[in-house]
Structure formats: structure tokens, C-alpha cells
Amino acid sequence: MRTQTIRIAHLFPELLNLYADQGNLAVLTARARARGIEVKVVPIKLREPIDYRQVDLIMLGGGSDREQRVVSEALASYAPDLRHAIEDGFPFLAVCGGYQLLGHSYELTSGELLPGLQALDLVTKAGTSRLIGNIAIELPATLKLARSTVVGFENHIGRTEHAHQALGRVLAGHGNNGVDHAEGIFLKRVIGTYIHGPLLPKNPHLADLLLSYALAYRGDERTLEPLDDTMEWLAHDQMLARLNVARKERLEEGE
Amino acid sequence: MDVRSWIAFVVASVTAFVLRVTKRAGTSLPGYLATRISPNLLFYVLAKLDRCVIVTGTNGKTTTNALLKSLVAQDEAWISNAMGANLLQGILSALLPELTWRGQLRVKRAILEVDEATLPRLTQRFQPDMIIVTNVMRDQLDRYGEVDATLGYLYESTRDETVLLVLNADDPLAASLGKGRLNTFYFGLSDWPEDDLLRQEVRDGAFCLQCGGELLYTRTVFGQMGHYHCPICLAQRPFPQFSMRVRERQEEVEIHEEIRLQSPIAYRVTSPLLGIYNAYNLLAACSAARLLGVNPARFEAGLAQFTAPIGRMQTFPGNPPRILALIKNPTGATMVLRSLEGTLNGDPLCFVINDADADGRDVSWLWDIDMESFVLRSPHVSGWYCAGTRGADMALRLKYAGINPAQIQLLENAADTLKVNAEEGGSVYILCTYTALHPLANRLEAMHT
């Protein structure tokens, strides 16, 4: 079955929009349209219900501590359905604060514990300094994407730890906690990451991966036709060069 | 003066002299060296001031600073860091030329623009007579952490209630600094030509700081500016003692002044700058000038002497003329673009985006600029040019705002934007971040003189 429209639920945009999530939405929308697929963004305000039958992809961004506290207080009502959806392979993009909220809890510098969605087995604790700067990571080989690097910017005081597969191995920058060289999380069809900048413009392979996840969840297994991403890869490669990371291209593997 | 401070003073003075003789304008270098040698020197000099006004906030500091100086410095000299060097070393660099070898100040009044994150370090040891907060918005996130952190710095710096605090009432974040505080005055717009309800801007203060409720706006200006109230805890926009009415396409604005125990007065002022954001800067400057005792009858004469700081859309005459504008955060950039909407007529538009510390290393903010509205309303751009260390990021921003990639050209050097030509009768517009501003302005000066 070919899908005509991808519906993206943007969670709590009135609170969690610190790192230009509009940019991620703009990229997903434009890249879907270039393949003749419409995108409908459904903003879901805090305390409004999510109807999982009516959406194909969820995006959760980051906010300030104050805003994350407001969100955290209202998360309990979402948790059971969301856990179930993730288990079921529902595609999910969570960035910065959104990534932290997927876990058990976020412990602030003050010691205060903000409960998370408890959807993934990860915990976050505030550190003593912010981890800030440009970052490059290498994606797991199992993903088999045309390019294996992801670049962007990170800025977080939270140190996240988990035992799942990371989104990538840190080539330059800090990652989840600045210690174990892991960045983000990659589980079922969930991508959680500290990388913004925003994430998707300079990483078109990830954008297409999310789009194909959204299609696949509805049973549409098509391969997205390639687009002209000269400009995207130029920006990507410039950042790799700045970070002294060698450009990595995965060789096409036969079917 | 202690010995270290005196050594710092000597080193800074010699450095400033050498820079002057060799015609190299390193605005903060003398102050940088001096603060490295002695952190006390700055506070020694500040203590010598009779009067000190500090201008802080996210947008409009430099312009407000320059406007206020033009209003107050008609008869007497005032020191100011007019070049926008607003960290501790920049402030010291501005003060040092007026310090005599005997350790006295020749000019004892100063208007200082101070970076929000720097302000607490200043107010820890020195209390000015007045602090003006223009607004609190999203700036370069990596430097400030978050908007809340900025607000925290400002809150901490304004707790001494003997200091006169002048706040923007239309900005719920800036206005929150004055809650329950003595010696606090507000300014705000009472009427303006156009409300913008449909723009997709980032509203940084859209939530009530008292109770977390979503603020309701009866009118909006831009960003989170407007007439707001909280429907839950009933917190309201504070009453502004200084309110301004701006009319469509009129340079003349009207200020209504209503201070407790004084009879209300009104006066008209001719705005030397266009754009609704400059109305706020003018109002902030006029409010502060009134509180400093300047007669409004003298405002016109002062403003006639005003010259806009660099990067505020000056035209550098030539063929083609080139217009230079500083952009450094989403709201500021959106406002600059909005003011260009009606002006562009087949002209090329250049962006120079750097990511040094002073620019903000995180360029996420490019994606919070309301580029889409601009593209929808301004189809008459003949070419889009991007340069700077993050020129490629800007090019992507334009592509995803709907510009045909074939029309976007990535230039290798910032200076290449000065080679971009316009059609007969057209102009070239250059929007750039902070570290690109002065090099471009210097080259433009050289080209056109």
C-alpha cells in the first residue's frame, strides 16, 4: 500500500522548541514532498491526547529546565500508550530534552528528580558543566545508510547513561555523558539524540531514514528515490573537515 | 590605585597609544590586557564616576545606548562604549582614555552597554544609578545556556533597589524583573500600526513566569512583545509610565508620560530610525533621559545629532550602493528581514554567517528566523548569496525555506559579498553576524571613500 500522507505529531511545541525543531520539520516536509508524499504536522499541546491511529511519526524536542519541569509533571498520562507504541515499532525522534524525557528520570543540579516517560531504560543526571560544541558521530554499520557519519551541535548539562544500542560512536565532541563515547539511543524505530543544529538539515540520510520508518510502520516498504543533496553533504563535509574527521562513505552492498 | 592596577593602566595606555598610531582599531585589546593584569582597575575607575547608566538586554542595546547618549550628552560629555564592546574588557577600554595619570576621571558620566551574562560580575562590586533592560529573548544558546539563564543573571543584577530600573513592560520576561521592586519604571507601546498574529515566530515568554499558565495576548508587536495577561493567575502587563504611540508610515511618534504624584505630560519625537523594534529603543532612551532630568523640549536637538551605530542598515553609497545589517539572533534577524520586505525590488541579498564565540557557535538560531514569511512576501530577490564559516548552513536554511537551490550561491570568502552586483538602480543587501561586521564595514568605507 502506498502512503499519500505522513502525519507527524509534534509534541508540546509551545514548550519544547529550544533547538529549532522547526528546522527538523521543514526538512522532513520538504523531503517527503519531493517524493510526492504530503506531510501533515499535528501540533499536540501538553495534556492533549495523542491518537496513535492518526499519526505516523512523533517528534519531541527540548526546552529549558523550567519548561521541562512543566512537561514532566504532565507526562504520566502519556506513558502507558507511548511505551506500547514504541514496543510496537512506532517511529520516534527525540532531541535533547525530549531524549532525556524518554527515560526514567532527569536529576537536576538541585537534586530534584523530574520523572520521565519511562519508555526507555535510560537515566539522566545533571553534571557540573555543560557539554557544548560541534559534534560528529559514526552510525552503527547495521543501519546500512549511504553515509555513516552524523554532524551537529550539542549543548547539554545532562549526562545520560543506558545499556541499549547508541545512535552512534563519538568521533569528535562529547555525546551522552562525555565518558563512554556513546551518543544518543537507537532502539526499534526510536532515535534519541543530543545532536541539534538542527539535526536533520545536514544529515539528510537520517531524515530519509525517519521518513521510511514512518512509511514502513504503515506497511509501505518502498525505497525512497534519492534527491540532489549536494548542498546538504557540502555542509556535512565542511563540519567533518573542521572536526578533523575523515569522510566515511559506506560501499554499496549488494541486495 | 593599587600597584597592579597602576601597571595595568600603564600597559593599557601604551597599547592604546600604539594601536592609535598604527591605525589598528582593536576596540577591546587595551582593556583586555588591563583586566588580565588587574581585575581591580575597572572597579577603581567605575567608583570615580558621578553617574552611570547601564543598558542591557538581548536586542537593541547598542542602538539604545547611542540614542540615550545623543539625548543626554548635549551640554556635557558622557563616556560610552559605543562600539558595542560590552564585556568587562570593552567597558574598561571605553573608560581608560578618560583616566588621568593622577588616577582621576576627566569625564565623570557614563552610559555603558553591558552583556547580560557579564552584568552580575559588574554589579557584584559596583552599583550604577540606573539599569535599562531592553528585552530578554533567545540569543546564541551556547553562550547563555538558555533564556532562563539570562533572566537569572538579570534578576541577580537588579536586586539592589536603590538602583533605578527601567524595563520593557511589553516583554513579559523583562517586565518580570520588576515585580514587587521599588524604584522601577516601565515603558511600552500603547498603539502601533500592525499586529502580527500569523507569523511563526518563537515566543520566548509565552508562559506566565508566576504560575506557568499560557499567556493570552490581546495585541502583539513582534516576538513575545505585546499586551498580555495570564488567564490563570491574572498577572498582567505592568502599567508603563512611558507609553508610545506609533503610527503607520510616520516618523513622528508620541510619548505619554504618567508618573505617580506628577501630572501627566505628552510630547512628540521624530524617530531617526525605521522599524518597530527601533521604536522600543527610542522609547527606552527617552524614558531613561526623562528619569535623568532631560527636558523633552530638548529631545529633537539631541536626536538630530544621532548617528546610527555600525550595522544598523547603513547605506554605503556607491555603484551599486550597499546596505549593511547586523543579525545575531532569530528575532533580530526576522525584524531586519521584515523591514526589507517592501524595499527589495530585484536586489541581491547576501548573508555572512560566522560561528566564532562572539557570533554564537551554535547556528540553530538560523532555523528560528521566520524566513518562510519573508520568502512568501518578498519574491523580488535577484540572487541569494551565502558566505562565512557557516555559509553552507545558511544556504541550507534558504533551500528549505523554499528558495530554488540554483538561485543560491555559496561564496568562499566574506569579502566576496562585496563583489556581488545589482542591476541598474538596485542595491546590494548584506546581512552578517558580529565578527563579520567590522571587517566588512571597514572594507566598505575604504571602497566608497
Gap from A186 CA to chain B (nearest CA, Å): 23
- Say if residue B69's pLDDT is above 90: yes
- Is B359 annotated in the active site? no
Is B286 part of any known ligand binding site?
no
> Rounded to an integer, what distance in angstroms lies between the CA atom of residue B24 and that of residue B133?
32
In angstroms and rounded to an integer, the radius of gyration of the C-alpha atoms of chain B is 22
Q: Are B310 and B92 in contact (CB under 8 A)?
A: no
B357 touches chain A (CB under 8 A): no
A184 Ramachandran zone, left/alpha/beta (phi>0; psi -120 to 50) = left
Nearest-by-CA chain B residue for A235 = B392
> Rounded to an integer, what distance in angstroms lies between the CA atom of residue B310 and that of residue A202?
33
The one-letter code for the residue type at B141 is L
Domains in chain B: boundaries? 50-83+124-304, 312-448
Residue A248 lies in a domain: no
Q: Which residues contact A38 (CB under 8 A, 6 or more apart)?
A: A4, A5, A6, A32
> Rounded to an integer, what distance in angstroms lies between the CA atom of residue B149 and that of residue B87?
17
The one-letter code for the residue type at B80 is S
- Domain containing residue A105: 5-220+229-242
| Residue A34, SS3 per DSSP | coil
Considering only A170-174, B26-30, B124-128, which range has the smallest mean pLDDT? B26-30
Q: Are B64 and B13 in contact (CB under 8 A)?
A: no
State whether the Cα torsion A8-A11-A13-A19 is positive or negative: negative
> Rounded to an integer, what distance in angstroms lies between the CA atom of residue A223 and that of residue A59?
22
State whether the Cα torsion B412-B417-B423-B424 is positive or negative: negative
3-state helix, strand, coil in chain A (%, to 5): 25, 30, 45
Nearest-by-CA chain A residue for B201 = A22
pLDDT at B25: 63
- Tell me, letter by letter, the H, E, C secondary structure of A44-75: ECCCCCCCCCCCCEEEECCCCHHHHHHHHHHH
Would you list which residues of A are annotated within the binding site?
A: 130
User: DSSP class of residue A253?
Assistant: P
Q: Give me chain A's average pLDDT, please.
A: 90
In angstroms and rounded to an integer, the radius of gyration of the C-alpha atoms of chain A is 17
Nearest-by-CA chain B residue for A238 = B392
- The string of DSSP codes covering B291-310 is HTT--GGGHHHHHHT--PPT
Residue B144 banded pLDDT, cuts 50, 70, 90? very low
Gap from A198 CA to chain B (nearest CA, Å): 6
Looking at domain B312-448, what is its CATH homologous superfamily? Mur ligase, C-terminal domain (3.90.190.20)
A96 Ramachandran zone, left/alpha/beta (phi>0; psi -120 to 50) = left
Gap from B178 CA to chain A (nearest CA, Å): 20
Average confidence (pLDDT) over B341-362: 90
- Cβ neighbours of B253 (radius 10 Å): 20
| Residue A179, SS3 per DSSP | coil
Beta-carbon separation of B142 and A15 below 8 A: no
Average confidence (pLDDT) over B280-292: 97
Q: Please give the distance of CA B158 from its chain centroid, rounded to a whole number.
A: 19
- Is A156 annotated in the active site? no
Q: Which residues contact B313 (CB under 8 A, 6 or more apart)?
A: B274, B323, B324, B325, B336, B339
State whether the Cα torsion B14-B16-B20-B23 is positive or negative: positive
Considering only A16-25, A201-210, B180-189, which range has the smallest mean pLDDT? A16-25
How far, CA to CA in Å, does B72 sit from each of A11, A150, A211, B66?
50, 54, 59, 10
User: DSSP class of residue A196?
Assistant: B
- The string of DSSP codes covering B77-145 is --EE-TT---SHHHHHHHHGGGB-TTS-BS--EEEEE--TTTHHHHHTT---SEEEE-------HHHHS
B216 touches chain A (CB under 8 A): no
- Cβ neighbours of B272 (radius 10 Å): 18
Residue A51 maps to which CATH number? 3.40.50.880
Selection from B55, B45, B114, B122 nearest residue B86 by Cα: B114
Residue A36 banded pLDDT, cuts 50, 70, 90? very high
Which helix (H) or strand (E) segment holds residue A143: the answer is none
- Say if residue A252's pLDDT is above 60: no
Residue A253 lies in a domain: no
Place of cell 514496543: A87
Terminus-to-terminus CA distance in chain B, angstroms?
Answer: 44
Q: Which residues contact A48 (CB under 8 A, 6 or more apart)?
A: none
Q: Write out pLDDT tens, residues A86-107.
A: 999 999 999 998 999 999 999 9
Q: Which residues contact B239 (CB under 8 A, 6 or more apart)?
A: B169, B186
B50-83+124-304 and B312-448 have identical folds:
no
Beta-carbon separation of A132 and B142 below 8 A: yes
> Rounded to an integer, what distance in angstroms lies between the CA atom of residue A34 and that of residue A49?
31
Angle CA(B22)–CA(B27)–CA(B29) in degrees, nearest 5?
A: 80
Q: What CATH number was assigned to the domain covering residues B50-83+124-304? A: 3.40.1190.10
> Rounded to an integer, what distance in angstroms lies between the CA atom of residue A215 and that of residue A237?
29
| Residue A185, SS3 per DSSP | strand
Beta-carbon separation of B361 and A153 below 8 A: yes
**Annotated active-site residue in A10, A156, A162, A196:** A196
**C-alpha cell at position B251:** 516618523
- Say if residue B87's pLDDT is above 90: no
pLDDT at B26: 61
Which helix (H) or strand (E) segment holds residue A37: the answer is none
> Rounded to an integer, what distance in angstroms lies between the CA atom of residue B136 and that of residue A106?
27
pLDDT at B202: 55
- Say if residue B309's pLDDT is above 90: no
Average confidence (pLDDT) over A46-55: 92
- Say if residue A253's pLDDT is above 50: no
> Rounded to an integer, what distance in angstroms lies between the CA atom of residue A243 and that of residue A93?
25
Q: Are B409 and B385 in contact (CB under 8 A)?
A: yes
All residues of chain B having their beta carbon less than 8 Å from the beta carbon of residue A19 are 141, 364
- Say if residue A255's pLDDT is above 70: no
Q: Are B374 and B338 in contact (CB under 8 A)?
A: yes
> Rounded to an integer, what distance in angstroms lies between the CA atom of residue B292 and that of residue B52?
11
Residue B398 banded pLDDT, cuts 50, 70, 90? very high
Would you list which residues of A are annotated within the binding site for substrate?
A: 130
